[in-house]
Structure 1
Amino acid sequence: MKRQKRDRLDRAFSKGFQAGVGGRSKELCPYANLDSRSQWLGGWREGVDGRVNGLFNK
């Protein structure tokens, strides 16, 4: 069970990262669960930082 929960949070983080790199708004977060939402937003922030710093091109 722990592995499933961790995998869901990892997936939320990676989906948020992809959204940040893609330039999507953080208001479009699809998660309502607090843990998943915070992971998604954390990934989104890292994706936006990477895009702003020129690490990724859209």
Structure 2
Amino acid sequence: MRTLEGLIVVVTGGTQGLGEEIARRAAQHHAAGIVICGRGQENGTRIAAEIGESG
């Protein structure tokens, strides 16, 4: 995957499964920001916190 540096990534279905993994990978590839959209606010908040903690 190429670098996502400077890009904002929007992940639909990002609170579980494949969408969650895509959000995590976007962070690993230096996305400037990640918008996580999904049905589970609690999961979304947890995932965002975990991604933020991992740097």
* Alignment TM class, shorter chain as reference: 0.3 to 0.5
Structure with greater proportional helix content: 1
Give the structure with the higher percent strand. Answer: 2
Highest Rg: 1 or 2? 1
TM-score normalised according to structure 1 size: 0.40
